[in-house]
Every structure is written in structure tokens, then in C-alpha cells.
Amino acid sequence: MTKLSVNINKIATLRNSRGGDMPNVVQFAKDVQRFGAEGVTIHPRPDERHIRYKDARDLKPDVYTEYNIEGNPVDSFLKLVLEVKPTQVTLVPDAEDAITSNAGWDTIKHKIFLVDVINEFKQNGIRTSIFVDPVLKQIEGAKETGTDRIELYTEAFAHEYSLGNEAAVKPYTSCAELANNLGLGINAGHDLSLDNIKFFKDNIPGLLEVSIGHALISESLYLGIENVIQMYLHKLK
């Protein structure tokens, strides 16, 4: 079964909008794991507008499933990840002022940089993943960096699928087949939801993990977090 990692950034956004510590992100992480999630994902940004670096440290003792920290490997992020030592680090090339992630790495242009960063993480026992667009040459480039996995950036699929275009999954299928042949693990994330997750999973051979935050939290406002997690787990079987 493909693992479900819950991105809890939105919980931190809600907390920060009011100050104080409600909702508590550590307790929320405990709860989603208790409800069946197989991982917790955070994406701290330098301005700490949602998840804070302190949250990353506070979460470590209580994430007993997979702990995935995403982010742009600027110096402060590198230091944080090497201190916390999560299960996995996912490298995302987002700008500091980006509202959300909006592109994958150019793994060819940034090969030398990525090789150096990935080597450091792997020497510290941290599994690595690179956020990539569904482009075959970028998958080949990812292999050359030494990364353990790729994370397919799924916004384009989600948008087209919502318009009825099921063929939008084809580039992702091709990239997954190539990644499997190259020995790369496959993760995916961004705009995946209860509406599209089963179709996507069924068309991506070897899909190991999906990281879902915005849609899952939004759906939970109507359906309840425990129920929504079970719905995702059912669709990912």
C-alpha cells in the first residue's frame, strides 16, 4: 500500500493566525498517526509563516512513523535537518516569497549543488527525495544526483483531472516507469485529494508515498480528520 504522509503546515498556519498554541501542532501530529497516517510532513520556510523551526525540533520525539521535512536547502534549512535527522528530507526549490511550491528542480542545471547536499544528508543517515516535474530528462538527472527518491509534482495532473482530462496522468506514468527502471523510489504530492488520489495511485507503478496537506485539512473541515485519513487509506490500498 502507498503510504500516506499528512502535511501539517495548515495547522501551524491556523495557530499562527491567532497567536498562542491552538491548535497544537505536536498534538495534531500525534493524532493523525493515531488515526492511521503513516507519516508526518512539514515544510518550514525561512520566514516561519506556518511551521516554525522550533516545531521541527518539538515534533521529533513524537513522530514515530515517517518524519519528512521538505524545503529549499538554504543554510538554515540544512542545519535544521542535520540537527533533527528526520526519516526523509525532500528538497524543494521554492523561492522565499512563494505562497506554495510551484516547480520542480532542474536536476541537470543544479546537479553539482544537489550532489553535494544529498551526500551530506545521506552521510547522516537521512533518506533523500527531490521534488521534480514529470519530465523524463529530469528523472534521469535526478538519478545522477544520488538521491534515493523523487517526489512527482502533481499540480498539473490535479488541475487537468478536475477538468475531466484523465490523459494528464500519462507523463507521470512514464516518469514512474523510468524511475522504477533507474532504481529510484517514487513519492508524489501537491493538490492530490480524495477526488483524484485513487486514479493517480492506480496509474503510478511503484508509488511509495504521497504527502497531502491542503486538500486533506480542507476536506476534514466537513468530514472530520479521523474519517478523512481512513478514506485516504482506503483509496491507497
Angle between helices 75-84 and 111-123 (to 10 degrees): 20
Question: Active-site residue 50, yes or no?
Answer: no
| Bond before 23 cis per omega within 30 degrees | yes
Spatial distance between the Cα atoms of 204 and 220, rounded to a whole number of angstroms: 26
The kind and range of the H/E element at 223 are helix 214-223
Catalytic site residue from 38, 50, 151, 190: 190
Question: Active-site residue 43, yes or no?
Answer: yes
CA angle in degrees (0–180, nearest 5) for 146-124-132: 35
Catalytic site residue from 43, 50, 209, 219: 43
Question: Active-site residue 190, yes or no?
Answer: yes
What Cα–Cα distance (Å) separates residue 10 from each residue in 26, 39, 138?
13, 16, 30
Catalytic site residue from 70, 151, 209, 219: 70
Catalytic residues: 43, 70, 190
